[in-house]
């Protein structure tokens, strides 16, 4: 319920306003002077102050100035005689929400109150969203107590304050996108947009139009103007994931953006300035791509201003117990399970396994254990089968193939299934990337995924 404090020295007007507002569903409290209004305000919180401009002991503006300190979130509406409208307009210039002329038009009053209520709801939604974003992307949620992760945290804290271009390096599943979001939402640009682009998800021609936009008629099918991702992230941040996958033509255009801080839409005739911070990420060996001529050297140095290297999970195994506990709690809550304990063998398996898909693979394994398990303890049998087979135990994998069935075909199919599972894990669950790494078509990969129910 919206709480309204009314300051009015005319008792009849005050009584009438209090009664009318209460009938309309507001919590209304009256005060016959500015001092009385202040005393009430010091004891309780209000959303709206409705005050007469001229009162014997204290003007409405003086009351407003005092309430700004005590209740800065409160919206003040000034009531004034027609000949004082100029004063009311001046008051709005210094922060008063709205004004009404006397005698009051009740319809006008409720229009203004309705608008104030809508503004309150929007402000609260924005504040809740801000808190949620800070909760999701604050540095503390990038979990790790190991020294290598502490070094990463210190680097992130420093780079978040700057406007420098950042290149995040690390294997698939190490959390590059989470680091990029944490940097943005803890930077001076946090109130503006973070636009994320997975560069490998678009063919060359489409990626160019996605990043830079196009004008109507720029190519067949361009029926109207399209605003590109760089323009959409103006005054904010653009996150270019899988930057090592972009073509030479897109590399050239991206280099110009980084050098000139301007873009040109496809088919456009004038450059458009953009104030966008660039965060890029890759799991590729860019240095090898430089030697092979697949990546521009000048672009590499423009992107690699501040490198942030995320270690693979196998190099920080001391963080695994923390991560296991975090993901168990997370998925127990989301699946409406009670508090769960973890069997000692589960933790030993997790510590022994090599986690080629890194943190993402570990998270998927814990979700699997929660969804498929029951009882109040996570047991080894709740884990995915591949987690229970350490990579070092090659003989165990061979036994699975040899015992798959009596026929040669059955053994081959089991081996193929294990190869596909391994490729998908290494690609962090990205089946298109797994197909690329195996040098098979995406269509063929989809068929095999369906065949083996992966």
Query: Which residue segments constitute the domains of the chain, with CATH numbers given?
Result: 3-130 (3.40.50.2300), 139-311 (3.40.50.300), 315-452 (1.10.8.60)
Report which DSSP code applies to 226.
Answer: B
Q: What does the DSSP assignment read for 67-105?
A: HHHH-TT-EEEEEEEGGGHHHHHHHHHTT--EEEEESP-
Mean pLDDT of the chain: 86
Rama region for 272: left / alpha / beta (φ>0; ψ in -120 to 50; rest): beta
Convert the pLDDT of each residue in 371-382 to its tens digit.
988 888 999 989
Taking the whole predicted model, whether its pTM rises above 0.85 is answered as: no
- Cα distances from 359 to residues 133, 176, 330, in angstroms, run 21, 11, 14
> Which tens digits make up the pLDDT trace of 386-427?
787 554 444 445 555 656 667 777 778 878 888 888 888 777
Backbone φ, ψ for residue 375 (5° rounding) = 80, -170
Residue 442: strand, helix, or coil: helix
With residue 377 as reference, give the H or E element that holds it: strand 377-378
| Cα dist from 12 to 9, 54, 121, whole Å | 9, 16, 32
- For residue 258, give Cα distances in angstroms to 30, 230, 255: 59, 11, 5
Does residue 247 surpass a pLDDT of 80?
Answer: yes
Quick: pLDDT tens for 115-126.
Answer: 888 888 777 766
Query: What pLDDT, on a 0 to 100 scale, did the predictor assign at position 93?
Result: 75
Question: Omega of the bond prior to 73 within 30 degrees of 0, cis?
Answer: no
The answer on pLDDT for 136 being more than 70 is: no
1 pLDDT band (50/70/90 cuts)?
confident
- Grade residue 139 by pLDDT with cuts at 50, 70 and 90: low
Answer whether residue 208 shows pLDDT above 80. yes
pLDDT tens-place string over residues 431-445: 888 888 888 888 788
Contacts of 139 (CB under 8 A, 6+ apart): 153, 156, 157, 182, 186
* Per-residue confidence (pLDDT) for residue 159, from 0 to 100: 92
- Give me the percent of the chain exceeding a pLDDT of 70: 91
Helix (H) or strand (E) holding 272: strand 272-273
Cα gap 411→18, rounded to integer Å? 83
The residues, any chain, with a CB within 8 Å of residue 25's CB and separated by 6 or more, are 1
Look at residue 52 in the predicted model and tell me its pLDDT.
92
The confidence score (pLDDT) of residue 44 equals 87
> Residue 239: pLDDT above 50?
yes
CA angle 197–435–405, rounded 5-degree value? 145
For Cα atoms 31, 94, 99, give the angle at the middle one, nearest 5 degrees.
Answer: 50
List, for residues 298-324, the tens digit of each pLDDT value: 999 999 999 999 999 999 999 999 899
pLDDT of amino acid 364: 93
Q: Phi-psi region for residue 173, left (φ > 0), alpha (ψ -120 to 50) or beta?
A: left
Kindly indicate the confidence band of residue 133, based on its pLDDT and cuts at 50, 70 and 90: very low
């Amino acid at each position: 319920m919206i709480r309204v404090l009314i300051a009015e020295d005319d008792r009849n007007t005050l009584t009438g306003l209090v009664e009318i507002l209460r009938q309309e569903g507001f919590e209304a409290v009256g005060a016959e002077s500015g001092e009385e209004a202040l005393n009430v305000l010091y004891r309780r919180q209000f959303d709206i102050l409705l005050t007469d401009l001229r009162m014997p002991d204290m003007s409405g503006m003086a009351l407003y100035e005092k309430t700004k300190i005590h209740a800065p979130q409160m919206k003040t509406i000034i009531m004034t005689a027609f000949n004082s409208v100029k004063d009311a307009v001046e008051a709005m210039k210094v922060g008063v929400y709205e004004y009404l002329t006397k005698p009051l038009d009740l319809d006008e009053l409720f229009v203004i109150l309705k608008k104030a209520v809508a503004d309150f709801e929007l402000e609260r939604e924005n504040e809740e969203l801000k808190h949620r974003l800070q909760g999701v992307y604050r540095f503390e949620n990038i979990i790790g107590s190991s020294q290598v992760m502490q070094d990463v945290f210190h680097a992130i804290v420093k780079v978040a304050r700057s406007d420098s271009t950042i290149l995040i390096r690390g294997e698939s599943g190490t959390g590059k996108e989470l680091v990029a979001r944490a940097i943005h939402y803890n930077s001076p640009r946090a109130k503006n947009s973070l636009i994320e682009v997975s560069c490998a998800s678009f063919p060359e021609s489409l990626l160019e139009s996605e990043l830079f936009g196009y004008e109507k008629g720029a190519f067949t099918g361009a029926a109207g103007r399209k605003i590109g991702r760089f323009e959409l992230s103006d005054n904010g941040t653009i996150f270019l994931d899988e930057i090592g996958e972009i073509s030479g033509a897109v590399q050239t255009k991206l280099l110009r953006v980084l050098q000139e801080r301007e873009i040109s839409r496809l088919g456009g005739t004038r450059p458009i300035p953009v104030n966008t911070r660039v965060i890029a990420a890759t799991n590729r060996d860019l240095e090898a791509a430089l030697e092979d001529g697949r990546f521009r050297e000048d672009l590499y140095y423009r992107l690699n201003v501040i490198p942030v290297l995320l270690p693979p999970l196998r190099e920080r195994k001391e963080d695994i117990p923390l991560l296991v506990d975090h993901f168990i709690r997370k998925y127990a809550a989301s699946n409406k399970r009670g508090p769960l304990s973890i069997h000692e063998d589960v933790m030993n398996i997790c510590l022994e396994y090599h986690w080629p898909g890194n943190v993402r693979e570990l998270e998927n394994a814990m979700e699997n254990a929660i969804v498929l398990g029951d009882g109040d303890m996570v047991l080894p049998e709740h884990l995915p089968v591949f987690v229970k087979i350490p990579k070092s135990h090659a003989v165990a994998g061979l036994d699975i193939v040899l015992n798959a069935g009596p026929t040669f075909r059955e053994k081959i199919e089991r081996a193929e299934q294990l190869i596909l599972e391994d490729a998908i894990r290494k690609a962090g669950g990205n089946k298109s990337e797994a197909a690329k790494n195996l040098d098979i078509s995406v269509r063929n990969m989809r068929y095999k995924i369906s065949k083996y129910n992966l």
